[in-house]
Amino acid sequence: MGPDGDALGSMLALGLALRKRGMTVNASWGSDPFSVPKHYTFLPGQELLKPPQDFPAAPPLMITFDAGSIERLGTLEPNARKAETLIVVDHHVSNDEFGTLNLIDPKAAASAILVFELIKRLGIDLDTEIATNLYTAILTDTGSFKYRNTTPPVHAIAAELLQFDIHHDDIARTVFDTHPVGFLKLAAVALERAQLRDDASMIWTWVAQDDLKRFDLELEDTESLIDILRTADTAEVACVMKQGLDGKYKASLRSKGNANVGAVAQQLGGGGHAFAAGFTANGDPHAAVDEIARRLATA
Ligand code: 5GP
Ligand code: MN
């Protein structure tokens, strides 16, 4: 899977800022095949992007964004291990401080909040391109300024970013309100077969590779399915099990605030935040859902 809006927006924002300082910047992530998720191709600074195989093997400085552990870097993990200086910029509470320098604040609404502050402290001027990346990252991780992490300073930073000529209406529409028609049809199928688990106050559904083929979709097109599912009035937790090209199911979990899905995901080999988390299941999705439900019921 490619990066989310916070990971990519944070990376491109700091990459553009450091380039203004005259640094040579390569931006990448460790997934194969390497392609920018469709929703984020509008982000400025795409020219900084390089596939992981072209990324320096032992960079003098490497900065990671929004990754809680070195394994999350995928095929770029060896590069990080060989980096002379490794700066970790993140806001996951589970971050294990794998950098030589760690800039981690679990209270930050997005990694982009830390990047914003870092750019300021470096004395680099913001511009429209940097502001577009930071705004998109914050928009993504606050769910359009709706989640509990949306504090007064988050709004203050967003206000500062809006001083630049960024098109926040276009950004919101591109990131959240644009789908292939096939997605709407897939959502109808997936929502129709959603199941309630009253024992765990959870609603869940699944998307198989066959479903994606039927509607000519890729996995990344299904990112917002969970945002519809999690509106169910009688469920505290929503879960979508999504089958990858390797056949394995990846769980996406969301909580309305009372259940800590990050803790459950971490117990099952993944991670995330208290209200948004995920992991990869080893076998049958039904068995994985039973396991989630059991852990939620006893939490
Ligand atoms: P999503 O449901 O959007 O794929 O993931 C929500 C959040 O959960 C992500 O921002 C990320 O922090 C975390 N997450 C998802 N999958 C994994 C995983 O397999 N391992 C870890 N450590 N975190 C994950
Ligand atoms: Mn984030």
| pLDDT at residue number 183 | 98
| pLDDT at residue number 194 | 98
243 plus 210 within the same structural domain? yes
The answer to whether 28 touches 160, Cβ cutoff 8 Å, is: no
280 lines ligand 1 (CB under 6 A): yes
Report d(CA 249, CA 240) in Å as an integer.
9
| Residue with CA nearest ligand 1 atom 23 | 271
When pLDDT is cut at 50, 70 and 90, the band that residue 32 belongs to is confident
Instruction: Please provide the DSSP assignment of 188-228 as one string.
Output: HHHHHT-EEEGGGTEEEEEE-HHHHHHTT--GGGGTTHHHH
162 plus 190 within the same structural domain? no
165 plus 225 within the same structural domain? no
Q: Is the pLDDT of residue 47 over 80?
A: yes
Boundary (domain end) residue, out of 131, 159, 176 = 176
Lay out the sheet containing 276-280: strands in order across: 195-197, 202-207, 237-243, 249-255, 276-280, 271-272
Structural domain boundaries, residue 272: 181-298
pTM summary value: 0.96
Report d(CA 132, CA 130) in Å as an integer.
5
Residues whose CB is less than 8 angstroms from the CB of residue 245 and which lie 6 or more positions away in sequence, other chains included:
209, 219
Higher pLDDT, 283 or 60: 60
16 plus 149 within the same structural domain? yes
Q: Is the pLDDT of residue 1 over 90?
A: no
Task: Read off the tokens for 83.
Answer: 């980096």
Cα 223 to ligand 1 centroid, rounded to whole Å: 12
Whole-number CA gyration radius for the chain:
19
| pLDDT at residue number 298 | 84
127 plus 226 within the same structural domain? no
Report d(CA 280, CA 252) in Å as an integer.
9
For 16, the enclosing helix (H) or strand (E) is helix 5-20
6 lines ligand 1 (CB under 6 A): no
- Output DSSP code: residue 71: G
218 plus 169 within the same structural domain? no
> Could you tell me which of 105, 183, 103, 135 has the C-alpha nearest to residue 12?
135
Cα 280 to ligand 1 centroid, rounded to whole Å: 9
205 plus 129 within the same structural domain? no
Look up the CATH number of the domain holding residue 216: 3.10.310.30
196 plus 231 within the same structural domain? yes
198 plus 168 within the same structural domain? no
| pLDDT at residue number 7 | 98
Question: Which atom of ligand 1 has the smallest separation from the CA of 279?
Answer: 19
| pLDDT at residue number 33 | 87
How many Cα neighbours within 13 Å face the side chain of 95? 25
Residues whose CB is less than 8 angstroms from the CB of residue 137 and which lie 6 or more positions away in sequence, other chains included:
5, 6, 7, 8, 9, 10, 13, 110, 111, 112, 115
38 plus 56 within the same structural domain? yes
Cα 228 to ligand 2 centroid, rounded to whole Å: 20
Q: Is the pLDDT of residue 142 over 80?
A: yes
Boundary (domain end) residue, out of 149, 176, 203 = 176
190 plus 213 within the same structural domain? yes
5 lines ligand 1 (CB under 6 A): no
Report d(CA 212, CA 4) in Å as an integer.
20
Question: Residue 231: which region, alpha, beta or left (left: phi > 0; alpha: psi -120 to 50)?
Answer: alpha
| pLDDT at residue number 299 | 74
- What average pLDDT does range 75-89 have in this prediction? 98
Boundary (domain end) residue, out of 176, 194, 224 = 176
Look up the CATH number of the domain holding residue 161: 3.90.1640.10
168 plus 125 within the same structural domain? yes
Report d(CA 46, CA 40) in Å as an integer.
10
Domain count, the chain: 2
CB atoms within 10 A of CB 193: 10
Tens-digit pLDDT profile for residues 185-239:
999 999 999 999 999 999 999 999 999 999 999 999 999 999 999 999 999 999 9
Tens-digit pLDDT profile for residues 252-285:
999 999 999 999 999 999 999 999 999 999 989 9
Q: Distance of CA 295 to CAs 152, 175, 292, Å?
A: 34, 32, 5
